Chains A and B, each alone.
Chain A
Amino acid sequence: MKIVVRSAGFLTSVQDLGRTGFRDSGVSLGGALDGHGLRVANVVVGNDENAAGLEATLGTVRLRFEDERLVAWCGGGFSVQICEENLPPGRAGFVAKNGDVTITAPNTGGRAWLAISGGIDVPLVLGSRSTDLRGNFGGHDGRALRAGDTLPLGHGPAPLRYERRISEWSAPATWSATNREAPILRIIKGTDWDRFTTEAQGSLVSDAFIVTPDSDRMGARLTGPELERIEPGDLLSEAVAPGTLQVPPNGQPILLLGDCQTIGGYPKIAHVITVDLPIAAQLWPRTRVRFREVTLGEAQALFREREKDFAVFRAGIGLHFR
């Protein structure tokens, strides 16, 4: 009923879909930066969508399993092995008792999410099993994993057939493999769009921006043409959210991610739409990213469409676990 972390990689943490309802106490949403990817991996192994899994970032993570489990992963250009066998993204793989799972990050960087049947059963803190790395609570002791840690697992649903080691069922590749050569993120106008010059508004949707090395789970910092405001000056802090594209006085935008603060005082030029946050979660230093504007109506239609597809997918996979 547990796994042992034999090698932790760099910045591997326990995450679920995040901590809602405590923003008025200053608690970040947190959770898997690609919440949809974690949901998909959870469904593939027969879990509840919100079961806690692992978010891997850099290096090599090696896990030893104490008992039989199914695992699945989604994310960037990682390679995942069960013992010696390769597990493609979006498929369930069977791990035998005392089996090893190895997750290796690509040199180009990115993130991946591993779901384990039964989920990682760390205690709920403020309604979530996510690790709040800045607040140092939740997950495993409120911190990134280290070699030698053991993680308790919950009771997992047993699939009907075990004869194949890799499942014949799989998730759509657009959900399970989210690294893109030249990512384009769709945005809607932000509440402070009109505070920026016409040139800045034009640059945002026509020029490329490059991700800088000081990016983290709070946000991807970008460098590119300076986005100038019509009138500089301080604004009152107000709510921000993952996907918010804020612009500090130096004109270089920051794309906020899951661990972002709950409120911020920089103007919000735009917001990346929810269905593109999985692509945003793969942004890595030196990635060139572009933005394309859509309307709020389009963003919500895309979201509804994805949720409809997800419901069909979940029902289909569910047949293997009845």
Chain B
Amino acid sequence: MRIEPLGDSGLLVRVVERFEAEESLDAVLRATRQLEVAQIPGVSGFAPAYTTIGVFFDPAQTAMFDELRAGIERALENTVDLGARMAPTIEVPVCYEGEFAPDLEDVGKQADLSPEETIRRHAAADYRVSCVGFTPGFPYLSGLPPELATPRRASPRKEIPAGAVAIGGTQTGIYPRKSPGGWNIIGRTPLALFDVERNPPALFHAGDRVRFRRIAREEFEAFSR
């Protein structure tokens, strides 16, 4: 593990050197929980992603780099009971039909799979959230079956609807709100991924386990009501 300055009001904890999906995410998640529990004075937030954790401190509270690094090293030696918070599994209902899935055929075609088989494979895999970013609440999921990997579209769409489930390269993700984007859209979930009235506001956090459950249009519509 290495700790490096990220400017003069943050630092970057490199928990592991290489990204090996399961082990790395477990290690980053464990370290994030250890840091949260430690309540290090002046620390205002964490940004975990893949193999690292960004740790930000309120520069007005005079916590300085060396002091903070020592605090982080101590916190990471503590044992904490992670229990069920370690990595909750979130089930995401997805409708893969009609206008919800404009790029489903393209994704299948380049892997020589029927739309039906593409859906089956996408919904059968186990995923984990590698990081949350791009827009508030957007989860980057690792675990996509390699044959479904599809390059981003040459020209991004100006508007992708909220809840769109999409594939970009070797990752799959879900758009929390209407936004532009270049990923291949293969379905839609009725879940609200980001809501400022909730605490925490995002449905997904780095390390969470995710499963997609295929639903019919009727169920999607019932959910949305």
Contacts and interface: CB of A to CB of B under 8 A. Distances in A.
Interface of A: 20-28, 125-126, 132, 134-138, 188, 191, 236-241, 243-244, 261-264, 268, 271-274, 296, 299-300, 303-304, 307
Contacts of A126: 196, 201
Interface in B201-224: 201-202, 205-206
Interface string B41-64: 000111111111110101110101
A263 B201 contact: no
Nearest to A272: B7
Contact of A274 (B7, B46, B65): B7
Nearest to B134: A261
A188 B45 contact: no
Interface residues of B, number: 45
Among all A-B residue pairs, the 7 with the closest Cβ atoms: A239-B54, A271-B7, A25-B202, A239-B47, A20-B44, A263-B133, A299-B8
A126 B10 CA distance: 21
B118 to A, nearest CB: 25
Contact of A237 (B10, B56, B131): B131
A24 B5 contact: no
A8 B62 CA distance: 37
15 contacts: A20-B58, A25-B200, A26-B133, A125-B196, A132-B136, A134-B135, A135-B194, A136-B177, A137-B196, A191-B4, A239-B6, A239-B53, A262-B133, A274-B9, A296-B8
B56 A26 contact: no
B8 to A, nearest CB: 4
Contacts of A299: 8
Contacts of B115: none
Interface in B17-53: 19, 32, 44-53
B107 to A, nearest CB: 21
Contacts, number: 142
A125 B194 CA distance: 13
B12 interface: yes
A25 B201 contact: yes
A303 B54 CA distance: 20
A125 B177 CA distance: 18
B138 interface: yes
Contacts of A272: 7
Interface of B: 4-10, 12, 19, 32, 44-54, 56, 58-60, 62, 64-65, 131-138, 140, 177, 194, 196, 200-202, 205-206
B47 A24 contact: yes
A271 B133 contact: no
B205 to A, nearest CB: 6
B37 to A, nearest CB: 14
Given A236-B51, A237-B49, A307-B60, 8 more contacts: A20-B45, A23-B56, A26-B137, A136-B177, A237-B140, A239-B12, A263-B47, A303-B8
B64 A26 contact: no
A47 to B, nearest CB: 16
A141 to B, nearest CB: 13
Contacts of B59: 274, 303, 307
B117 to A, nearest CB: 29
Contacts of A22: 45, 136, 200-202
B8 A307 contact: no
Contact of A135 (B45, B65, B135): B135
A212 to B, nearest CB: 20
A135 B133 CA distance: 12
